[in-house]
Amino acid sequence: MTAAPTIVQRRIGIVALGCVLAFALIGVRLVDLTLFRSSPADAAPAVTHVMANRADIVDRNGELLARDLVVHDLSVQPYLLPNPAVAAHQLAVATGASEQRLLREFTRRKKPNQYVLLARQITPETQDSLSELGLPGLEFDPVMKRYYPLGEASAQILGQTDADGLGVTGIELGLDKPLRGGRSAQLSLDMRVQYVLNQEVQTARAQFNARAAGGIVMNVNTGEILAMTSLRDPAAPPNAQDRGNPNRNRMLRDVYELGSVFKIFSFTLAMQDHTVRLDESLPIGNGFKIGRYTIHDAERMPATLTARDVLAESSNAGTAQIALRSGPQRQQAFLQSLGLLSRVRSEDPEGAKPLFPRRWGQTETATVGFGHGISVSPLSFVTAAAIVVNGGRRIVPTFLKRTGDARGEQVISPEASATMRQLLRYVVTDGTGKLADVPGYDVGGKTGSAEKTDGRRYVAHKLLTSFCAVFPMDNPRYLVFVLLDEPHGANASGVMALAGHTAAPLAGRVVAKIAPMLGLPTAAPVL
């Protein structure tokens, strides 16, 4: 027979039952608040964000480039404000919001649990000043904000996120899924090199009063992009190409007729197919006639030039003849094999599509041979040029840090690649690239001076100048490409506006500063 519960046991049971009922009531209340309660139709409830951190982005040396930090969205219940007009004025001063808008919203939303969103992602300083006002009804909703500690130094590459923390441009877009999944990204960028490239390109843009300028530094054996920048003239009005965005990455998203730097590929094809000997003389004279057109050179040329000097002196007439020996089909297939006729692929998904002739005949073969009639992005050009000098093996451009050699299939023969390295060094020692030479680093390269169009025809005094520098040429490691859009003014007129006087010295200054940073010793002097 079971004994009757004692008074103590009965009291414990009553207390326990009371606790159960209390927790049950709390649970019902929570369900009611979270699932079934809604604000009036015209209310603007405070937004509660899920605190999901987006992972960090760092450069190749671990320097922080992007990180999520907790900030707050500010909202208020007008119902609790003792004097809406005074509150509207104080909050407008503190947040920069429109006082008229705030007062109008405060007047419309006077019921309990109606909210007005005042400002998103306010700074800690603003939050402190708002707290000092002592206004009732203010609510600070914690949210995540993406911070870029180095500011504009890498903004064009990193891109942006939206208010919901989703990547919308650049690397933030391309790596959106892993970053939102909490996986940090270590980029190939070296911010030391990035600072040098930014500074030198900015200096040259100002020196030559160029409309825009840009540059890329790439490891030719891994495809890693160590630096990339593009600058527009801050005084120039926005136009369709600029799209009004100073952070537009033109090195990847825009395409250009690059002119004579493209001769690198015409000569590589000739070396690959043995269609010309370097000591062979070609007639230059007063230009080269093809059909009803005559191809001229920017500067006066002798009656004949050896093939080697056609590249060194950047003769359009000579290069056209060499390109025609390959013919349209072979030229087109070769450029396709280098990736120049398709969209460049990288972690930034916004690479531009090239523009090239629909009808690829003899005239198109000649003009494409010296870099006109075909437009590619600078990143696409740099990737193809890297293949030419790295032994002829394919690489894929990347913004992510890699370890070890990443060269792939053989695209051109090692012998053709070796010959091109010799030729590019010759351009710097004996040709148009002399001002790019840096003692001790055996720089090779090629100038490019392309006439721009006005929509109907090429205009002689509107140039796009560039230089592609590779170093050290005996065992290439890095490529520096720089571009100046319409260099002009007192420092760049006539011949002095050509790439040999504008882009070449810019590339040389970049090489001289970054080579020691990258651990490249100077070559021993020849005694």
CATH 3.40.710.10 location in the chain: 192-517
Q: Which residues are catalytic?
A: 260
For residues 487 and 499, give the distance between their C-alpha atoms in angstroms, rounded to a whole number. 9
Question: Mean pLDDT throughout 395-409?
Answer: 95
Instruction: Indicate the fold that domain 192-517 takes in CATH.
Output: Beta-lactamase (3.40.710)
pLDDT of residue 166: 93
Say yes or no to pLDDT of 10 above 60: no
In sequence order, the β-bridge partners of residue 229 are 215
pLDDT of residue 250: 92
Q: What percent of the chain has pLDDT over 70?
A: 85
User: What is the tens place of the pLDDT at every residue in 112-140?
Assistant: 888 999 888 888 888 888 989 989 989 99
Distance of CA 163 to the CA centre of its chain: 22
Say yes or no to pLDDT of 47 above 60: no
CATH 3.90.1310.10 location in the chain: 57-94+113-186
pLDDT of residue 92: 92
Q: Which of 109-123, 160-174, 214-228 has the lowest mean pLDDT?
A: 109-123
User: What is the tens place of the pLDDT at every residue in 239-254?
Assistant: 545 544 667 899 999 9
Say yes or no to pLDDT of 179 above 80: yes
pTM tops 0.75? yes
Taking the domain 57-94+113-186, which CATH number applies?
3.90.1310.10
User: Which candidate, 71, 69, 75, places its Cα nearest to that of 97?
Assistant: 75
- Cβ–Cβ < 8 Å for 419, 300: no
Question: Mean pLDDT throughout 459-479?
Answer: 93
pLDDT of residue 7: 56
Q: Which residue has the higher pLDDT, 492 or 418?
A: 418
Say yes or no to pLDDT of 18 above 90: no
- Cβ–Cβ < 8 Å for 450, 431: no
pLDDT of residue 458: 82
pLDDT of residue 4: 55
User: What is the tens place of the pLDDT at every residue in 355-377?
Assistant: 999 999 999 999 999 999 999 99
pLDDT of residue 496: 81
Count of other CB atoms within 10 angstroms of residue 309: 23
